[in-house]
Amino acid sequence: MAYDFDLFVIGAGSGGVRCARIAASHGARVGVAESSHWGGTCVNLGCVPKKLMVQASTYGADVRDSHGFGWDTQPGHHDWVALIAAKDREISRLNGIYVSMLENAGVRLFTGHARLDDAHTLSIGPSTLDPDAAPRRITARRIVIAVGSTPFVPDLPGIEHAITSDQAFHLPRRPERVCIVGGGYIGVEFAGIFAGLGSTVDLVYRPHQPLRGFDADLRAALHEAIDLRGIRQHRGTTPTAIERRADGGFVVTLNHGDPIETDCVFFATGRRPKVAQLGLEEVGVRTVSGGRIVVDRHSQTSVEGIYAIGDVTNRLNLTPVAIAEGHILADHLFADSVREWSFATTPKAVFFSPPASSVGLSEEEAARNGAVDIYLSRFRPMRNTLGGSPQRTVMKLVVDQASQKVVGAHMLGDDAPEIMQGLAIAVTAGLTKQDWDRTIGIHPTSAEEFVTMRTRTRETPHTPA
């Protein structure tokens, strides 16, 4: 049978765009449908606008710290509306770049909501991006579902009053008081953004420390850093209700502790695959808990010829991972060789100020495989000696005792994500502590500490799960 396309991608986010472009570069006839934002969550409602807002939130501390260096700069007024407008201009520039990248690669673009009719047929109907789009039917030999995820909020009385990250990027004004629920990536990052721009922030989360799953020393360091920023942390706590008051404010009741009075309730309680109205069930694409599409090692779903990549598969929900999955799939389908990536050593970063970043195993994870040597350093970075901030930098290496390979690196401090990107190469390459030790540092930097930690801080015995 002759199909309209060799490959049709549903969703023009990070993973979908990469998959479409690489497949087209291999000579495939490729189409892509997008229902709301070219570039997807990362570009429009995620990483990119978030990073711009984190940047905006750091200048107040810069002004304060500059006094120690002889400046008499005074903090000024921050214009939220100007920030959002500037951010939106940059995002719309990036939207245009995504569209032209796809067009230049020879990919055909469709605006609208795509739905599967069968394993080789799609219907594309109107969507927010193109409400007047005429319905179209398209056939494709292979289909890739790359629709991403959407914020999840738990069901509790008054939850309709809460916003999520989707709205946080477009608030008409900055709330004076914000109550953020969730101690994961988004909760921690937005707590830093709002606090840096002058809001009073309450951060409510269930565990004892933020960032479940990260290394315990990094979590403890982040907890301290959040405190230093004046953010009120409500640990081991969950909200039970949200009530709207006559003055427009809100009261958040907690399972223990005093209720929180606030102007904005922001839930950052995870994301779920965006699988609604895709026709998955009708076509037989298998999903499990929370809508996650089940895929094999080639990203193929339970239906032959239908693939899924990125957050919709809920493997490791990070932009560079979705990009790698899309690239690998396009190579697998249309090229002779497949580029390889090391997913096990995917570096991660949480853009608080100061940021936290990790690559490889936490101490706890590494100890499940065997005894580990721990190298831990806490120091006052040079900027803070004159600047006056009591914030310390924390660095940690986790070394497998038997092989002496550095299996994990963790840092909280200025530029941690920039430093960790370089260290990720060493951890991915499986270099030993001796290799790190014979590397000469760059002086004076914080990063040099990673190659000068000579004395083992402690030994952690093999602790099987």
- Would you please indicate which residues are annotated as catalytic (active-site) residues? 443
For residues 116 and 100, give the distance between their C-alpha atoms in angstroms, rounded to a whole number: 26
Q: Which residue shows structure tokens 């550095």? A: 406
Q: Which two tokens stand for residue 424?
A: 């990720």
CA-based nearest residue to 267, from 157, 199, 356, 167: 167
- Which residue number, 84 or 350, has a Cβ lying nearer to ligand NDP? 350
- Closest residue by beta carbon to ligand NDP: 184
CA-based nearest residue to 201, from 213, 210, 211, 193: 193
- Which residue number, 57 or 317, has a Cβ lying nearer to ligand NDP? 317
CB of 252 to ligand NDP, least distance (A): 12
- Which residue number, 184 or 354, has a Cβ lying nearer to ligand NDP? 184
CB of 293 to ligand NDP, least distance (A): 16
Whether the upstream peptide bond of residue 354 has omega within 30° of 0, thus cis, is: yes
- Which residue number, 162 or 453, has a Cβ lying nearer to ligand NDP? 162
Please answer whether residues 319 and 42 qualify as being in contact, where contact means their C-beta atoms are separated by less than 8 angstroms: yes
- Which residue number, 250 or 375, has a Cβ lying nearer to ligand NDP? 250
CB of 232 to ligand NDP, least distance (A): 16
Q: Which two tokens stand for residue 437?
A: 């030790």
Please answer whether residues 136 and 2 qualify as being in contact, where contact means their C-beta atoms are separated by less than 8 angstroms: no
Q: What is the CA radius of gyration of the chain?
A: 24
> Phi, psi (5° rounding) for residue 406?
-80, 110
For residues 257 and 134, give the distance between their C-alpha atoms in angstroms, rounded to a whole number: 54
Helix, strand, or coil (residue 23):
helix
5-10 and 136-145 as β-strands: parallel, antiparallel, unpaired?
parallel
Q: Which two tokens stand for residue 37?
A: 């934002």
CA-based nearest residue to 449, from 460, 458, 437: 437
Q: Applying CB under 6 A, which residues contact ligand NDP?
A: 154, 181-187, 189, 205-207, 212, 238, 268-271, 317-318, 349-351
CB of 30 to ligand NDP, least distance (A): 27
- Which residue number, 184 or 326, has a Cβ lying nearer to ligand NDP? 184
CB of 186 to ligand NDP, least distance (A): 3
Q: Which two tokens stand for residue 302?
A: 């339970």
Q: Which two tokens stand for residue 96?
A: 């245009």
CB of 206 to ligand NDP, least distance (A): 4
Q: Which residue shows structure tokens 């990125």? A: 310
